[in-house]
Amino acid sequence: MAKKSMIAKNEQRKIIVERYAAKRLELKKALVDPNGTDESREAARVGLQKLPRNASPVRLRGRDAIDGRPRGYLSKFGVSRVRFRDMAHDGQLPGITKSSW
């Protein structure tokens, strides 16, 4: 079980990323716009730097939805490898079967 504070911090980051997503996308487009002037690119770069650090999606951590485990996260299922194995054995994941050859 992960620390409650780390889970809460990651949840707060998700909210911040969502809040600034549109503005961040707009600034990123202005940076690579071939018709833009040097001044507009510079303004976009400065605007991007002024956004909070936690507004970047890179700072999010994939965590197990059940217990918050940060390592071994399988994003397709939203759980860690340990939880995935247990759930697959219990038949809680439809379509997942143990491989044999």
Q: pLDDT digits over 34-52, tens only?
A: 898 999 999 999 999 999 9
pLDDT at 28: 95
Domains and CATH numbers, the chain: 1-61 (1.10.287.1480), 62-101 (4.10.830.10)
What is the spatial distance between Cα 77 and Cα 83, in angstroms, rounded to a whole number? 10
The pTM of the full predicted model, rounded to 2 decimals, is 0.81
Query: Tokens representing 25?
Result: 């996308």
Q: Please count the CA atoms within 13 angstroms of the CA of 85 that sit on its side-chain side.
A: 4
Query: How do the pLDDT tens digits run along the chain, 101 residues long?
Result: 889 999 999 999 999 999 999 999 999 999 999 898 999 999 999 999 999 999 999 999 999 999 999 999 999 999 999 999 999 999 999 999 888 88
The dihedral sign for the CA sequence 33, 37, 41, 46: negative
Q: Output the CA–CA distances (angstroms, integers) from residue 78 to 37, 40, 45, in the order listed.
A: 43, 40, 34
